[in-house]
Structure 1
């Protein structure tokens, strides 16, 4: 994809404004920073000007960052209010970051605002995916639409060429022919995913089975390929999938958004099964159990699932005792949501009310009642491939 300079500049301006609003300084590790040098079993730290760091508060801040000893090319922000506090390279050469706690809060808030935008985009995405999967032959749009459909149906990660090459761990765009068996209208996926976890899923879908079988008839080992305008074969990559999603959604949507949205809705459905807890301890036990169920579906650890894939409003509402459920979603929740499922429309309504309530409550001293969430439908609807 070509570099979008305008979008990049806009993103930097937005980040600067967000940092300023959080009382932080927007920084870059291209500017001079504090360096780290190994000395015996420990480290010494050098000022950008070259002198040793002796200030006790600065040394305490550096220790609190808990920068792994294995990191190389370590850069530490000389300003305690920098939005980035440190960067470095891990043992695999990947760039890693340590952020200021307030910046993490800003970033997380933006991420969950984005989830609401994604939910609003889902009807248009699903309509376009359905149309593209009906195209004749095996053009790129048809194969990309099939991958997006599978992102939702199975919750398999989109995949990364580096992980496939270095770790032999796979996602949808890096699957090989051997990872999928098609038997009639049923697909069976068996492969090693991220962190070495084995995925075994079954999916009954006549149309997808037909498309995947056509992909398997193409030469080569990569499962998802298509014919370009010249008749040549091209592999589908995660970048292709994300570009396709941005095009059909008309906004910045990525493959990961499907897993984050699914994790949030599945958490609401899991919590639906519990009676209202009679104590905070019981509520937290139920919360842990629900998160474990969602984590098992997503193939994550519970800690990662809670931090990265479930909107905190769902968990907060349950702990507050304000998460209520009805057999069916209220009719008004379906208005304007098109192809959103009833339980998705209910969760979206909760997030919108929660967002409005939090913004209205900013600066208010009195407690604001939390909205109830009316959620319906069966657990397996999202990511209905069986693990």
Structure 2
């Protein structure tokens, strides 16, 4: 079992789970001192299956989330709901990771909720984020949105190094974390959603668009080559490897639909912005495809 974990020789402070069934099988620190993990293979499979299974629920809930976010962004001051709505809108616009306090503290790698004021610069309607993310990758992310920029500018000039914080009822500043974001998502959507679902949804829609743009393939070999090219487009946007994107961020139903010639025709037409908070034309086409795939899975399981 330990040999199969393939723990790198350079790791130090290695811990190995005494149980072969534990979802975390080993931890250690790499050559740069960053904490790393080895997970149980079946746990990864179950987690990914559950994530893809709820992506259809995410698509259905997205209009409700967008409507609530807009309402909370319109609040005055910097109450908790307005700061959380700002975080959600930035997640949707940028596909950024939500962040983890332990990663920030132990590895010096940041995500949205762990960003510090030094990581952001606001100029007019432009918000520029510059930070080191997971696996030590440097990120440069720009957002142009006057309403978001006004909120971020206020947060940037508040006391303390944490960027995302709010004033409680007693006027005290409180930071927000990934659990706050996930709790807000569950509350406003009525579903068991998490911030990571935004990245999975983004990767799935990006892959669908890329494959639709590629058009029908004249052979299986060409089709599989175009799938790889589409995954590479997702990889460039999300900042993950090709293998991780294919396994974790692109719903298998999209790839199956392309390989069998069943991508929705709506994806081949120009995208149409959503009315109000509704799904765009391409988003709606992807949601419908996922719904049909879920029904097929349910019929096979019956």
Q: TM-score range by the shorter chain?
A: 0.7 to 0.9
Show the counterpart of 1:352: 291
TM-score normalised according to structure 2 size: 0.87
Aligned to 1:219, which of 153, 159, 166? 159
Cα deviation code 1:139-170 (max 9, x no counterpart): 11100100000000111111111111122211
SS of residue matched to 1:304 = helix
Q: Which runs of 5+ in 1 are unaligned?
A: 1-61, 78-83, 364-387
Q: Flag the structure with larger Rg.
A: 1
Whole-angstrom distance in 1 between the partners of 2:87 and 2:168: 17
Which range moves more in the overlay, 147-156 or 318-327? 318-327
Measured after TM superposition, the shift of residue 96 of structure 1 is: 4.3
SS of residue matched to 2:194 = coil
Measured after TM superposition, the shift of residue 94 of structure 1 is: 6.8
Measured after TM superposition, the shift of residue 261 of structure 1 is: 0.7
Which range moves more in the overlay, 253-262 or 164-173? 164-173
Show the counterpart of 1:376: none
Cα deviation code 1:30-53 (max 9, x no counterpart): xxxxxxxxxxxxxxxxxxxxxxxx
Show the counterpart of 1:75: 18
Whole-angstrom distance in 2 between the partners of 1:98 and 1:182: 42
**Contact 1:76/1:87 (8 A) holds in 2:** no
Show the counterpart of 1:58: none
**Contact 2:271/2:282 (8 A) holds in 1:** no
* Cα RMSD, aligned residues only: 2.7
Show the counterpart of 1:207: 147
Show the counterpart of 1:66: 4
The answer to whether residue 195 in structure 2 is matched with residue 255 in structure 1 is yes
Cα deviation code 1:307-343 (max 9, x no counterpart): 1111000011111222243355999xx99x9611221
Aligned to 1:89, which of 10, 13, 26? 26
Aligned to 2:50, which of 106, 110, 118? 110
Whole-angstrom distance in 2 between the partners of 1:107 and 1:225: 30
Whole-angstrom distance in 1 between the partners of 2:6 and 2:23: 11
TM-score normalised according to structure 1 size: 0.69
SS of residue matched to 2:65 = helix
Greater fraction of residues in helix: 2
Cα deviation code 1:85-115 (max 9, x no counterpart): 8753311477743244xx7655543322211
Show the counterpart of 1:341: 280
The answer to whether residue 176 in structure 2 is matched with residue 233 in structure 1 is no
Q: Which runs of 5+ in 2 are unaligned?
A: 9-13, 30-34
Whole-angstrom distance in 2 between the partners of 1:330 and 1:360: 32
Number of residue equivalences: 290
